[in-house]
Amino acid sequence: MFRLASLLIVTVLVGCNRAPDKALTIAVNAGVEGTALKAAAKEWGEAHGTRVEVVELPYANLFEKEQLDLTSRTGAYDVIMLDDPWFPRLVEGGNLAPLPHNPDEGFVPSCLAVCRNPFGSGTYFALPYVGNSQLFFYRQDLFAKYNLAPPKTWHEVLSAAKIIGTQEKMFGYVMRAAPGNAVVADFMPLLWAFGGDVLDTSGKPVCDSPAAIEALRFMVELGKYSPPGYAGFNADEVSAHLLQSTAAMSINWPAWIAAMDDPSKSKVVGKIGFLPMLGERSPGVGELGTWLVAVPAGSKHQSDAFAFLYWATDAPQMQQAALRGNPPTRRSLFESPELTARFRAFPAQLASLESARPRPRTPLWNEIENTFGIYLSKANAGTMDPAEAMHNAAREISQILQRGQ
């Protein structure tokens, strides 16, 4: 009898303490971009009595897990965090749920455009959470020392790299040219500045145009002022050179700004200046790398998931995310006196974000980027002439597009 009574008491207690019925599972990037969303999810769960489970995945695995979940409609995730180049692939086949209502006007337009399918004009399927776009990092102290104005064009960068590199016994420039995303990300601003592109408006490859070949020749020339072995570099090697004061300039992402001014990591605290991307024949355009949040069509808690999405991207929550290190996607936050006093690169970040361009909006971008990156990497490694590399890349991209039809 005593045993039965004990069992009943335990059952009642367990029943009283069980987790709330409402639940959300959120897939986030295991990195600084995901940290803020993770904190927001916890706060949301506590405020709304919702059990929130956050699945943190490294960048390399996040796409594949999300892709598998979306295509098989398992409903494993209720909210997903996705890098904007993945959006055209993930939105295919109705795999993402459309937003119940359009977002407000407070977001930077370039960030909103990548949330629509078709790009820029269609239905909204996501909201922008992290406002990433490339910036130009340069040693403002060394530019002042040699009476150089902050660069406005890529040829000014080349001239400055020669002067600073020779005078300071350091590398005038540092870039990353490991195959895949790394080299493509560093090449796109050059390509656009020289008037080239990967695909034209009809989706045909044009990366073998004279402008594109000239852009690659320029990249290889700039590579002469980069550390040997840059053809295998990724973001961490580039940033290590800036942080250790062994290189004077580079293209980089906002995620590295904080490290530049962190005395425990940097020998160049306060010495790095940040500029929106530089131009050449065309105005400067950086690559957009906005992190989005979306709800899979297979989610079984769509109502809660959308409520979380709107809440997390609203101005007060995004301000919290900005304080945790995420660049916002709302103009008002970039212009907030409180935040600009704390984040000195915000004016440059906003200017960059407003003019930034996304990678070509095709579901085949991952494959195109891989092929394009291989040839860019070969040209930078000195094993293929830039013209040959671009002709080969255009031919293979054309084959990828044909197969995809």
The residues of the shown chain that bind other proteins, judged by CB under 8 A, are: 63-64, 67, 89, 177-180, 227-234, 237, 240-241, 244, 246, 364, 366-367, 370, 374-375, 377-378, 380-384
- DSSP assignment letter at 20: P
C-beta of 192 vs 233, nearer to other proteins = 233
The token pair that represents 241 in the structure block: 């050179």
C-beta of 107 vs 225, nearer to other proteins = 225
Q: Tell me the closest approach of the beta carbon of residue 96 to other proteins, in angstroms.
A: 15
C-beta of 254 vs 296, nearer to other proteins = 296
Q: Tell me the closest approach of the beta carbon of residue 373 to other proteins, in angstroms.
A: 8
Q: Cα separation of 296 and 69, whole Å?
A: 8
Of the candidates 257, 108, 251, 248, the residue with the CA atom closest to the CA atom of residue 189: 251
Residue 254: what residue type? P
Q: Tell me the closest approach of the beta carbon of residue 68 to other proteins, in angstroms.
A: 9
Q: Tell me the closest approach of the beta carbon of residue 133 to other proteins, in angstroms.
A: 23
C-beta of 318 vs 364, nearer to other proteins = 364
Q: Cα separation of 135 and 352, whole Å?
A: 7
The token pair that represents 180 in the structure block: 């895949």
Which are the contacts of 359, defined by CB distance < 8 A and separation ≥ 6? 84, 85, 184, 188, 287, 288, 365, 369
C-beta of 153 vs 246, nearer to other proteins = 246
Q: Tell me the closest approach of the beta carbon of residue 383 to other proteins, in angstroms.
A: 5
Q: Cα separation of 32 and 326, whole Å?
A: 7
C-beta of 88 vs 328, nearer to other proteins = 88
C-beta of 162 vs 281, nearer to other proteins = 162
* Host H or E run for residue 28: strand 23-29
74-to-22, 41, 213, 235, 276 alpha-carbon distances in Å: 18, 21, 45, 34, 42
C-beta of 63 vs 334, nearer to other proteins = 63
Cβ atoms of 319 and 136 within 8 Å: the answer is: no
Handedness of CA 232, 65, 112, 337 (dihedral sign): negative
Determine how β-strand 249-252 pairs with β-strand 272-275: unpaired
Q: Tell me the closest approach of the beta carbon of residue 366 to other proteins, in angstroms.
A: 5
Q: Tell me the closest approach of the beta carbon of residue 15 to other proteins, in angstroms.
A: 37
Q: Tell me the closest approach of the beta carbon of residue 166 to other proteins, in angstroms.
A: 15
Question: E-strand spans in 236-363?
Answer: 249-252, 272-275, 291-294
Q: Cα separation of 266 and 288, whole Å?
A: 26
Q: Cα separation of 34 and 193, whole Å?
A: 31
C-beta of 49 vs 58, nearer to other proteins = 58
Q: Tell me the closest approach of the beta carbon of residue 369 to other proteins, in angstroms.
A: 9
For residue 118, say if its preceding peptide bond is cis, omega within 30 degrees of 0: yes
Q: Cα separation of 57 and 258, whole Å?
A: 23
For residue 360, say if its preceding peptide bond is cis, omega within 30 degrees of 0: no
